[in-house]
Amino acid sequence: MSAMRASDMNIKGEVVAMLGFAGAAVTLWLGMMWAPSVSISAFKAPDAQRIFYWHVPSAWAAMIAFGLLFIGSIYWFFKRSDWAWRLHVASSEAGLATGLMCVWSGCIWGAAEWGVPWDWTDVRLNTFAILTLLSLYLVMGRRSQPDGVETRDTFAAFGMFGFALVPLTYIATRLWQIRHPGPVVATSEGSLNSDMSIVLFLGAISFTTLTVGYVMAGMRLTKLEMRLEELQGQYEERMK
C-alpha cells in the first residue's frame, strides 16, 4: 500500500486561504487609505476607527469558525465521524487565529477611543474573549493529550457547550450596551456610508474565504497527521 494518496496532495484549501489572505490585505489597504473618514465630532479618535475594517470582518470570520467548531464537535460526539473531528481541530485553530485578530484590534481601538484597552464589565468584550480563550484551550489542550476517544469526547464537549456563548456574544450589545458600540450593519438606523460598506463587505468576503481555506487546509493536515500515526502503528506492529 502506498503511503501517499492523491487526496493527500490536494492543496485547494491552501489556494482558497491565499485568496482570502490577498483579499484581507486589499481590505486593510482600502480601509486605511481609501475609505472615508468618520465625523470628528462622533469619535474621540476618528483615525483609529479605521481599524474597524479589520476588526469587524475578523469578528465575523471568528463567528463562522466557532459555528464550524460547534458542528464538528456535535457531529463527532453523536456520530463518531473522523471527518467531524478534523473539522473540530481545524475550526478551533481558525477560531483562535481570527478571534485573536479581533481582540487585538479591538484593544488598540479601545485604548485610542475609550482610553482603556479593556472593560471587564462589558458583556460583548468578555464573551468574545472567552470564545477566543476557549479556542486556545482546545488547541493547546488537544496538543497535550494522546489522540483517542477520551480526548475527542472531552474537547468536543467543551466545543459544544462553548458555543452557547456565540448567541450571547451576538445579542450582547443589543441587551446590554455597556461600552462596545451597537450594530451598524443590517439595522434600521442604516448609519454606514456606502464606501464604508463596500470596504466592510470586501473584508467580510475576504476573511470568510481565508477562514474557509484555513479550515480546508487544516482538515487535510489533520488527516495526514492521523494517517502518519496509523502508519507508525502499523510499522511498530510489523517490528514486533
51/5 Cα distance (integer angstroms): 43
Choice from 38, 117, 147, 179 touching another protein (CB under 8 A)? 147
What cell does 119 get? 472593560
Whole-number Cα distances in Å, 30 to 48, 70, 235: 14, 33, 53
**Of 19-27, 39-47, 61-69, 124-132, which part binds another protein (CB under 8 A)?**
124-132
Whole-angstrom distance, CA of residue 69 vs CA of residue 66: 5
Q: Considering only 20-28, 46-54, 115-123, 196-204, which stretch makes contact with another protein by CB under 8 A? A: 115-123
Among 58, 91, 127, 169, binds another protein (CB under 8 A): 127
Alpha-carbon Rg for the chain in angstroms: 20
Residue whose C-alpha cell reads 488527516 in the numeric block? 223
**Applying CB under 8 A, which of residues 8, 47, 153, 195 lies at the interface with another protein?**
153
Side-chain-facing half-sphere of 74: CA atoms under 13 Å:
11
User: Can you list the alpha helix ranges (DSSP code H) found in 163-193?
Assistant: 165-175
3-state secondary structure string, 136-163? HHHHHHHHCCCCCHHHHHHHHHHHHHHC
Q: Among 18, 107, 141, 179, which residue sits at the site for another protein (rule: CB under 8 A)?
A: 141
Among 126, 173, 211, 222, binds another protein (CB under 8 A): 126
One residue of 11, 22, 25, 140 binding another protein per CB under 8 A: 140
Distance between terminal CA atoms of the chain?
20
From the list 6-14, 48-56, 153-161, 214-222, the region that binds another protein by CB under 8 A is 153-161
Binds another protein (CB under 8 A): choice among 32, 154, 179, 205: 154
- Complex with another protein: residue 43 or 118, whichever CB lies closer: 118
Stretch that binds another protein, among 15-23, 46-54, 65-73, 130-138 (CB under 8 A): 130-138
Phi, psi (degrees; rounded to nearest 5) at 184: -115, -10
Task: Check residue 146 for interaction with another protein (CB under 8 A).
Answer: yes
Least separation in angstroms between residue 82's CB and another protein is: 11
Binding residue for another protein, selected from 59, 89, 134, 204, defined by CB under 8 A:
134
Residue 117 in contact with another protein, rule: CB under 8 A: no
Cell of 6: 492523491
Give the residue from 138, 156, 134 showing the smallest Cα distance to 74: 156
Q: Which residues bind another protein (CB under 8 A)?
A: 80, 120-121, 123, 126-127, 129-130, 133-134, 136-137, 140-141, 144-151, 153-154, 157-158
